[in-house]
Structure 1
Amino acid sequence: MPIRTVENQRLYRQIADQLSALIESGEFERGSRLPSERDLAVQLGVSRPSVREALIALEIEGKVEVRVGAGIFVAAPRPVAVVEDAGEAPGPFEHLRARWLLEGEIAAEAAKNARPEDLEPIRAAVAEMQALIRRSRDTESVDRAFHLGIARATHNSALLPVVQDLWDRGRGVIWQRMEHHFRTPELRTATFRDHRAILEALEAADSRGARAAMRQHLDRVDREFSRGWDALKKSESLAAATRSRR
């Protein structure tokens, strides 16, 4: 069964389905290493982030196994997990891009319209995030409160459910698996610094600065997840080179 070109507008789920069919047909044998992410992206006619999302979805489903330092392998058959992000739902990188577009403007609007009392829950979320990081605790709930607080500070009631929906839908099992692989204490500290910069722009009523700080934050999250995946692929290449010299 040859690889078919995937139309650009399709999502990671269609890529995952095609790779799954190739595994089931024996095109990719159990225990074998999958082609490189770059090769898959070229053959499928899609972006590398879309391939990353598809591979993580397949890992969750038990179709492939991500071995840090070794690569991505076709897994032995086992019960298939139900993936809540299946179907037409956008993947994490699409959510990040949507948030970049929308939340940058929302932060700018909040900087213009926020009252002193609107900043208190945002400030409290930043303080709590710092305290949780110091105790090596999870910060997701206060991170969410921070972003929702900014939406509330716009005094536009239509924006709050938009941010809430983007946040909640973007935190599916594929995002969680990405965090499992790539999130580190250093990245949590960087997130805290990002949030503090956004808060400072809001406190200064700096609309342009708030927009820039929010977009820099979301750019960094996207970049760090991509860098983590690239590091995994680099480890794979080094491991393969080591084995070839033996």
Structure 2
Amino acid sequence: MPIQLIEPQRLYRQIADQLRELIRCDEFKPGSRLPPERDLAVQLGVSRPSVREALIALEVEGCVEVRKGAGIYVCERRADRAVQSDLLTDMHGPLELIRARAVVEGEIAAMAARVARPRQLALLDEALKMMRSEAEAGGVPMQGDRLFHLRLAEIAGNSALTSVVALLFDQRNNPISAKLGQHLENAASWNAAIDEHRKVAHAVAEHDPAAARAAMQRHMDRSHRRLTKRLD
């Protein structure tokens, strides 16, 4: 077997591994409440967002339970965890994904603003209307959201970037991102997101690359903030 490169592990996985080991060694016993996120961040010398991603990964594994407004509790030990920890090792954290999307999609919005044509703008507006319809029906407007970002990339006219946007967006379906969304996304947060999309579309329609870039990056920044609200 040939020697392989050793890659640094993602920070949230290192945090999750350490907390899991503390649980295994009964430093945190089944049924007990973990310290608040902010305290764990100080003790571990990391940011709260990194702790947030680690706790969500542990919840997906079945090691802890997040009780909104009450705290995060250690689950009883079970032989059959919801998801084995090694299955999550290669997943990007949801907050890391948002930061990556801000870089890529900010520039895509600027590119789109330079070349957008009336028919393309109509298709972008169609995706925005789909988001509104899904939200008004009481659902999660994921289909319209995905369509909006893909159509924006298509307007920019680079098929490779369109593929990147699809790849990054679809990571929202991984277990960690999905669980975080279940805890922190709601009708109010989606209404805010739809309004942010509308501002991106307006800047693109005005053929203002700087405004389009800023609107998209603002949307990603606010999405990041919405996902870093307190869990405990």
Common fold by TM > 0.5? yes
- Counterpart of 1:51, as a letter, is V
Q: Offset of 1:45 from its aligned partner?
A: 2.2
Q: Offset of 1:137 from its aligned partner?
A: 2.2
The TM-score with structure 2 as length reference comes to 0.90
| Higher deviation after alignment, 96-105 or 116-125 | 116-125
Does the CA contact (< 8 Å) of 1:11 and 1:90 recur in 2? Answer: no
Q: Please tell me the root mean square deviation across aligned C-alpha atoms, in Å.
A: 1.8
Work out the CA distance in 2 between the residues paired with 1:226 and 1:161.
28
- Counterpart of 1:192, as a letter, is I
Deviations along 1:110-132, one digit per CA (max 9) or x if unpaired, are: 10122222223211001111122
Aligned to 1:73: 73
The number of residue pairs the alignment matches comes to: 223
Deviations along 1:210-235, one digit per CA (max 9) or x if unpaired, are: 111111111111111212xx2x43xx
Deviations along 1:133-183, one digit per CA (max 9) or x if unpaired, are: 222122101100100111111111221111111111233111111121111
Aligned to 1:17: 17
Aligned to 2:210: 208
Q: Sort the Cα spacing of 1:12 and 1:190 in 2 relative to 1 into closer, same or farther, 3 A.
A: same
Q: For 1:141, which of 131, 140, 143 is the aligned residue?
A: 143
Does the CA contact (< 8 Å) of 2:62 and 2:83 recur in 1? Answer: no
What secondary structure does 2:66 align onto?
Answer: strand
User: Any stretches of 5+ residues in structure 2 without a counterpart?
Assistant: 1-7
Q: Is residue 2:131 matched to residue 1:129?
A: yes
Work out the CA distance in 2 between the residues paired with 1:121 and 1:161.
18
Work out the CA distance in 2 between the residues paired with 1:141 and 1:40.
36
Does the CA contact (< 8 Å) of 1:13 and 1:88 recur in 2? Answer: no
User: Any stretches of 5+ residues in structure 1 without a counterpart?
Assistant: 1-7, 234-246
Identity of aligned residues (%): 48
Structure 2 matches for 1:1-246, cutoff 5 A?
10-78=10-78, 79-82=80-83, 86-227=88-229, 230=230, 232-233=231-232
Runs of 4 or more, structure 1, over 3 Å off, are none
- Counterpart of 1:116, as a letter, is P
Aligned to 2:3: none
The TM-score with structure 1 as length reference comes to 0.85
What secondary structure does 1:158 align onto?
Answer: helix
